[in-house]
Amino acid sequence: MSWRSGIGSGRHRGVARKALKARAQVRVLAAQGGVLGKGKKTEIVERTLLTTRSIEYDAVLVAGGTAGLRDPRLTVLLQEAFRHCKVLGAWGDGVQVLEDAGIDATAPGVLLADAAGAVLARELVPALGRHRVWERVGAPSD
């Protein structure tokens, strides 16, 4: 999951809990290291955009509240994950981050939701179980 500094409202926790229940590992990414949020709604940034690559993940989710985040390292991460047929997702204005990175939001395996919650979680777990979104690969050319 990708956040920018100051994001960590806790709305993503339902998605994270569902993924953890399915034995997925959840990592919090941000442009800079540190702690996101305040009080009981804090998240420790486990990876920064400087220290991570798409090969570490089976899926990348972009949190709402991140619109306007234009970092070339995030663009590379999202484009590589998309090209490698990995699941991408976003909620709220996080969809804009995908689109700014040139990701086709209507492509197979791109999960979108108005908010982080049960709908996104229900789509995410089975998508992770398929490992890759092979529907994105075109037919071989002669």
pLDDT at 85: 94
What ranges in 1-142 are assigned the alpha helix state H?
Answer: 13-21, 72-83, 94-100, 118-129
User: pLDDT tens digits for 89-120?
Assistant: 888 888 999 999 999 999 999 999 887 777 77
Residue 18 has pLDDT above 70, yes or no: no
Mean pLDDT of all residues in 10-20? 56
pLDDT at 140: 58
More confident residue, 75 or 139: 75
Q: Which superfamily does CATH assign the domain made up of 13-133 to?
A: Class I glutamine amidotransferase (GATase) domain (3.40.50.880)
Note the pTM of the prediction, 2 decimals: 0.80
Residue 79 has pLDDT above 90, yes or no: yes
pLDDT at 19: 59
What whole-number distance in Å separates Cα of residue 48 and Cα of residue 45?
7
Instruction: List, as one string, the DSSP characters of 2-16.
Output: B--TT---STTHHHH
The helix (H) or strand (E) run that includes residue 75 is: helix 72-83
Total residues found in the chain within this entry: 142
Nearest Cα to Cα of residue 134 among 114, 108, 116: 108
Q: What are the domain boundaries of the chain? A: 13-133
What whole-number distance in Å separates Cα of residue 94 and Cα of residue 19?
19
